[in-house]
Structure formats: C-alpha cells, structure tokens
Structure 1
C-alpha cells in the first residue's frame, strides 16, 4: 500500500490537487489526443469527450482512489478498480497504454500546478498512480485470461441473426459467432463492447448490456438510438451483417446465494435487468423478486411485455411499473416517477439498479431510508461512471 511518507504528502496535497483535478484532466486529454489522435478515433468515446463526461469520470476516479488510500491505508479500493478494469478489458486496454497515460498525466499535473509539484510531491503522486495502474493491470490480466483473450485480440466477428424493433428508438439484435465456435462464458447483467466503422474512418466502440440469459444459443443486445454508434446500428445493421464484439464483462452480476432481489430500472436500463430475470426464470429461482421500472410511457418502455412475462414465471415475484405519461397503461401501472414508499421489501434484499443517474440516486436514497444497507445496493452506469465523480 501507500508508503507512510507518501501518504503524508498525499494527505497534505490532496485538497490542492482535488481543486485542480478538472483542469489537470482537461489538459491531460488535450496532450494525449494531440500525441495519439488514433486513441480518440478508435478507442475513446468521442461523444463523452465532447460532453466532458469522460474527464469528469477520470477526475472522480483519481480523487476517490487517492482519498481511499489515505483514509484507509490498510486496504486498496479494489471494488472501484474492479469496475474500471471490466470497462478497460471490454475495450482491449493493454499494460503499455498505462505508460502513455502516465507520461501525459504527469506532464499535465506539472503544467497546471507549476512549482507546487516538488520532487517529493511528484514521487508521492507517482506512487498513487502506479498503485492504481498496477492494480488495474492485474485485474485486467485476470479477466483476459478467464476468456482466453490475448492482448490485442479483443474482437471477434459475430453475425446478426435477427433484428427486432422494440420501440420507436430501441432495437434488439440477436447475434451468434461468425466462426461457428462456442459462445464465451457470460453472467446475467454483463455487457459486451461493439466496434463499428463510421463514415469518417473512425472505429468507435460502445458497450451494450446483454438483454437475454447467458445460457441461450445466441446473445442479444438491445440498443437505444443515442450517439453515433447506436445510430449506425439502427440505420445500417440488418440480419446477416457482421459486427466486431468483445467477450462479456461487467461486475453487476447476481449473487450465488438465493436471496430476495430488487431489480430496479428506468429507460434503457431495463436491459441488464431483463437478462437477470431471464436467468432467474431459467434457474427456477424461488426467493422473492421485486421488479421495478420507470419510463416516459408504456410505448417507450422497451421489452415491457417480456419483463412482465419473465417475472410471471418466477415462484414469488411482484411487478411495479411507473410512467410519466400513463396513456395505454395497464391496470396496476402507476403515474409519475418511481416511488418505493409502499413497495414491500423483504428482509435481506439485495438491490440492483440501472438507469439514468438521477433515477439511481433517488432509488438509492429511498432504499437507504427504508433501512437497506449501502453494501446491498448495486448499480450499473451506461457510459463513464459519473457517480464516482459526484458522489
């Protein structure tokens, strides 16, 4: 863990670095993409870069990691590293790229903080960086090994076997490996990366949750039109086309024990919850399962019929849907935003959340107020994990 001398330096400089971390990460990305334009073209999400969300996420991760090291010197924030490593592995990040990041990140720190970066300060933050980087490299190596993925060999061609229009702006694609080989091992709740060639020559990557149980003969992803990769899939990909797809990754997975579950989603966040429901139905899950979903309207609620049907296959389940516009709602559906005030929560429930950040923050607050421990609340963020940056 962090050496005592470095811990003291980090504790003393963390407020100043924290205050400037936004400027540091902005300068870092400017330097990185100037030196390596191919990274923005073929690895980093251009939409997130333009919106600034990736910079916020990086700043939050660095600050959270450093804070954890000084506040809990006896342990490394492995839960945070695990989440980041899954994202990195789905993109094919390699150990050598951490050297590149180190070069430009520390140059940015010096540019922003100037003379405040003494030799002692630089050494302490260097130690923090490599504790984080080496932790990520080790986890990513384990993830690659689990899937038999060699460095630089992230992508496998898959064929679209079926395309289904779920709503006006949501499409489901069923996929199978183009080489006819076995499907890689997956767990309900995980996601895959999809890489597509765009008209300007870029090969952009996005992650999509698997929306069906991993035991199927094909894999499904359900894509909302949101950003250039999703628009490409909607506009250009049809049955018989090929896609570059990664092995499945992600740490939002169901527990091995049969405990009461709450599966709460909003919008396209329904996708990992549907995979979980599908898996629970296939495995005859007997513990109580509470299904919660919020959406703009029933017409916007992708996979609504499947969600209700899968819950109906379980021994002990309850379904609660909320809609801001209740036209075409069914009996029992509710108006407005998700409100758990009168939803029964069994003792020992494990909660799984996926949807927009405001939705997840609201549901998490309600659960904490109902006495659900923070450790029992799990979540998935589509895109950069801004929860780290703002929590």
Structure 2
C-alpha cells in the first residue's frame, strides 16, 4: 500500500465515524443476499440486535485510523483470529467479505467513493485479510498439534444436565467418538453449533468452559436469555435449554485469549456480573486443584438469589479453604437477616471491597455485560490498579477496547 492510498483511507475516517453502521448494515444484507449459506456461520441474534454491525463498524474505523501502523491492532486481531479459528473460518471466505465490503462502500458512499478510494480500500482490505489469514493459519497449526485437539466441528453427547438456578443449566459434554479431548487454559471457551428451527439455520455461539479441565468431558453453564426489547430471546440458549440428556451437538476445540497465565503465582481478583461467572469458575476450580492455592477474591453480582448459580458450591468452598474471600452483590434482596452469606445490596461496587482486593501483584479478571465491564474497569483505575494487571472478556462481538 503506497502513501497516497494511505492518505485516501485516512480521508474516509470522518465518513466512517458518521455513517459506519449504515455501511456495515448494508454490507451484511448484501452479503447474505448473495451468500445465504453464510448465515449458518454468523450469529444472527447479533445481526438482529445490531451488535455485529456496530462491532464491524468499530473495527473498520480502527483500521482506517491506524492505517500507517496496523501492528498496534495485533492484540485485537489475535482475539478475532482466535474466535475465527473456533468457527472454522477459511481463507476463501475473506474474498467473499472483501467483494461485498468494497461494493458496499461504493453503493453507500456514492459519488464520493471515487475509483481511487475504492482501489485504496481494496488494497487495504486484502492487506488486512492476509494478516488475518496468516495469523489464523498459525492458530490452526498450533491447535492441531495439541493432544486430543481438532480443527472444525466435532460431535459431543450431552450426558448430564444440571439446573444451577432458575435460568442457568450446566451441560456435561462427552466426545461421541470416545477419543481424547484437548486440555485448555482456565477462562477459555468453546464454540457450540446447534440447529435453530425458528431460523432453519445452524447457529454457532461461544460459551466459556465453567470447570477446571477434566479429561472425560467439557462443561458449559448456559443462561436462558429471555427477550427484552429491542433484543430478541436467545435462540441458541433456548435451543440448548430444550435439549435432553443423550442429545448430540457439535463443538469446536477450546480457544480464547482471556485466561489465567500458566504457572502464575499472582493473587487473583475475579469480578463477574450475571452469567459472566463461568470463566471465573474455571479459574477458581483450577486454583483449587493447584498446589499453590493462590489468594483469590471472588466478587459476583446478579439480580437476586433465585438466579445466583453455584451459590452453595462457592459458599462451601469458602468454608473449606483459607485462600478464598467472597463478596456477593444482589440488585434486590428479599431477606438479608436470614442469609448465611454476607450479601451486599446493589450493583457491584469495588470500593466496598477495596481492602480485600488491593493485593500486591494481583491480577484482576472481569467478565460480564459491556456496561458492567466498563464500570468495574473504571473503578479499578480509580483504585490505582495498573492497566496491565486488568483483563476482561466481553460476551458477544467486541464493542469495547479499554487497555
């Protein structure tokens, strides 16, 4: 890409800031019209609620703003590439995306999209595509080399379903072929693929593994998402909740860059909102099984006791070990006096826990909805926690970039 083309890309930044979502919305509609089979690979729930178009608009804008030095985006690109590997994205699909993205720029922007600008964006896109293809090739190769691992989809049997709360079920997934399964880092996820009758489509979703590694099975704990306008009900979560023991689903091998560092001895502060506890539970169980038993502070917030999954397990563990401290926040509390646990009313407030969490060299992990992550991240900065010690996982398309 030459300097003149880079300047043309930067000249489109104001348009991307003002009309980026219009462009990406048009792009998805155009691409799915010409390639309806790709709907089996995309989260159509995020298409419906607009999160996917927002995420893509943010990504395109970030690339344009950093066109002189796209290497600053490598951290973000690695996260995207890891998810692509779990979804079995292939190089030829980048050509499809490129064709419809460039055409969409021309059709949405109109006369302002000169042949020179379209050529610059063509070069820019395929430069980025090659970065992603090379990155994902490395990820596929590394994954294939792991014992028990696989690329693409593999059938697993749901051998056990456990109701953890009024809206969360755990699914114990065993390989149908009975062969070895891959180890994973606590905090990572798997992609699940199920057929959704309402859409007449296969649909993939990512779910964090909610236990320490067990060589016989994977466990995920899934919240049934009930629709609240403007968001529709969770099509995949409801499909999973309708499954029975013995049913078979397809999953990818574990992936994800949000996880504990191997052999790290730093104290842990695990901060979760709602079903964001799932990767934290994997971290907690892994620490329980480790020799060092790192000092751990568990901070969780949810609406009330009825939706609080794994409440008794965490409570029992706290009584058994000395290295765990817990803080639970409920939006509403029916009876504080009779609770056997210390329950704090209201949203998670880290300032109420600051004496416990400000540990030397502690690593802070946050998982939950977008606004929850932003709030807790800001609180940690106000408590003078260094950004390099804060890690977060946003469920769904990445809309925030705080580090």
TM-score by length of 2: 0.89
Change (3 A) 1:210 1:54: same
Secondary structure, aligned partner of 1:342: helix
Q: Distance in 1 between matches of 2:47 and 2:300?
A: 30
Q: Distance in 2 between matches of 1:323 and 1:80?
A: 33
Name which of structure 1's ranges 127-136 and 28-37 shifts more when overlaid on structure 2.
Answer: 127-136
Asked if residue 160 in structure 1 is aligned to residue 158 in structure 2, the reply is: yes
Change (3 A) 1:312 1:279: farther
1:155-200 CA distance string (max 9 Å, x none):
1111112110111111101111110110123111111111112325
Alpha-carbon offset, residue 311 of structure 1: 5.4
- The residue that corresponds to 2:260 in the other structure is 254
Alpha-carbon offset, residue 121 of structure 1: 2.2
Name which of structure 1's ranges 3-12 and 109-118 shifts more when overlaid on structure 2.
Answer: 3-12
Q: Distance in 2 between matches of 1:224 and 1:23?
A: 31
Alpha-carbon offset, residue 96 of structure 1: 0.5
- The residue that corresponds to 1:337 in the other structure is 347
- The residue that corresponds to 2:131 in the other structure is 135
Secondary structure, aligned partner of 2:241: helix
Alpha-carbon offset, residue 365 of structure 1: 0.6
Change (3 A) 1:335 1:187: same
- The residue that corresponds to 1:39 in the other structure is 38
1:227-285 CA distance string (max 9 Å, x none):
111111111x2222211111111110112321122110011111010011111111133
Segments ≥4 residues shifted beyond 6 Å: none
Task: Indicate the RMSD between aligned Cα atoms, in angstroms.
Answer: 2.2
Q: Distance in 2 between matches of 1:277 and 1:238?
A: 28
Secondary structure, aligned partner of 1:167: coil
Change (3 A) 1:312 1:183: farther
Q: How does 1:205-284 map to 2 (within 5 A)?
A: 205-226=204-225, 227-235=234-242, 237-256=243-262, 257-284=264-291
TM-score by length of 1: 0.92
Q: Distance in 2 between matches of 1:366 and 1:114?
A: 44
Q: Distance in 2 between matches of 1:225 and 1:87?
A: 22
Q: Distance in 2 between matches of 1:333 and 1:88?
A: 40
Q: Distance in 1 between matches of 2:65 and 2:319?
A: 45
**Which stretches in structure 2 are left out of the alignment for 5+ residues?**
226-233
Paired positions, count:
383
Change (3 A) 1:315 1:261: same
Asked if residue 365 in structure 1 is aligned to residue 378 in structure 2, the reply is: yes
